[in-house]
């Protein structure tokens, strides 16, 4: 995984005089608003934006398309270890925030199907899959100036992140948002099916043995059920200003 670094934007300021947090972890359940918050925050700060969910989705897509049963832990783990995942700046102007390649195939939208949604929690619960993904994520984060979004960023991937946000919303509101997203892409979706799939994913993500979704002790919780994106961004930006990282 190399090209994620390319998503960074403006020039690096001198870390000795930049008092902003350098590593920002954003965690939360499906469709809580963490990707929108993370992407916008990174753009405004000129930081790299890295949505780790795309990696687990890419492995799931690869398993489904290569007839690797998602309940075959050894086979899925071997696949995760050899799959070449790249995240690049958008290569097509179709509303995407980035382009995701899996062994060279553009899977940016293919990893968003209900079928991937239904299997991704099983795949991402495998310890070997997580080991392979987390190692790559830490390599990408090593340079700092990054907003990394996922489920276990503040707890496991970057436990020393300078700022940790946990974005949450009610499951009904999250299902409504996901249902609207699917419809906007011109696909059919039944709200009750989306809600059931989201409840299932919440359950598996929160109760798996390795790196379950939970709020890091030092994370700030942002509830987006009633707050619009501008309200959440305002709060996050105030926190960034308040939490200067230590200046050497």
Kindly list the residues in this chain that would bind ligand CDP in the complex (CB under 6 A).
Answer: 30-31, 35, 52-53, 56-57, 120-121, 124, 150-153, 201, 205
Between CA 179 and CA 6 the distance in angstroms is 31
90 and 4 in contact (C-beta within 8 Å)? no
Between CA 15 and CA 214 the distance in angstroms is 31
Minimal distance, residue 35 CB to ligand CDP, in Å = 6
Residue whose CB is less far from ligand CDP, 172 or 241? 172
Per DSSP, the residues of 138-159 read: HHHHTT--EEEEESSIIIII-T
In this structure, the dihedral spanned by the alpha carbons of residues 140, 141, 143 and 144, taken in order and rounded to 10 degrees, is 150
Between CA 195 and CA 34 the distance in angstroms is 18
CA within 13 Å, CB half, 85 = 31
Q: Count the Cβ atoms, other than its own, within 10 Å of residue 136.
A: 15
Residue whose CB is less far from ligand CDP, 12 or 183? 183
Residue whose CB is less far from ligand CDP, 182 or 240? 182
Minimal distance, residue 14 CB to ligand CDP, in Å = 31
Minimal distance, residue 112 CB to ligand CDP, in Å = 8
Minimal distance, residue 246 CB to ligand CDP, in Å = 26
Between CA 151 and CA 216 the distance in angstroms is 10
Residue whose CB is less far from ligand CDP, 56 or 98? 56
Residue whose CB is less far from ligand CDP, 190 or 242? 190
CA neighbor of 83 nearest in space, from 178, 14, 23, 1: 1
Minimal distance, residue 99 CB to ligand CDP, in Å = 15
Minimal distance, residue 208 CB to ligand CDP, in Å = 8
Residue whose CB is less far from ligand CDP, 5 or 136? 136
Q: Which two tokens stand for residue 176?
A: 């409504």
Per DSSP, the residues of 195-226 read: HHHHHHHHHHHHH-SSS-----TTPEEEE-SS
């Amino acid at each position: 995984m190399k090209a994620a670094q390319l998503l960074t934007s403006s020039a690096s300021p001198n870390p000795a005089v930049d008092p902003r947090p350098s590593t920002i972890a954003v965690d939360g359940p499906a469709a809580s608003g963490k990707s929108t918050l993370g992407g916008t925050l990174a753009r405004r700060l000129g930081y790299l934006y890295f949505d780790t969910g795309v990696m687990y989705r890419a492995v799931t897509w690869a398993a489904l398309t290569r007839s690797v049963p998602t309940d075959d832990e050894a086979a899925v783990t071997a696949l995760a270890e050899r799959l070449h995942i790249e995240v690049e700046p958008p290569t097509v102007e179709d509303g995407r925030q980035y382009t995701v390649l899996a062994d060279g195939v553009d899977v940016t939208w293919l990893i968003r199907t209900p079928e991937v949604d239904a299997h991704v929690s099983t795949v991402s619960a495998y310890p070997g899959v997580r080991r392979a993904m987390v190692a790559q994520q830490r390599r990408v984060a090593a340079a700092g100036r990054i907003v990394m979004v996922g489920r276990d960023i503040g707890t496991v991937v970057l436990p020393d992140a300078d700022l940790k946000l946990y974005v949450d919303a009610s499951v009904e509101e999250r299902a409504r948002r996901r249902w609207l997203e699917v419809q906007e892409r011109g696909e059919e979706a039944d709200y009750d099916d989306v809600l059931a799939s989201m409840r299932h994913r919440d359950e598996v993500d929160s109760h798996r043995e390795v790196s379950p979704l939970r709020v890091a002790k030092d994370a700030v919780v942002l509830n987006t059920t009633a707050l619009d994106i501008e309200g959440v961004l305002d709060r996050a930006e105030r926190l960034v200003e308040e939490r200067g990282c230590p200046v050497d």
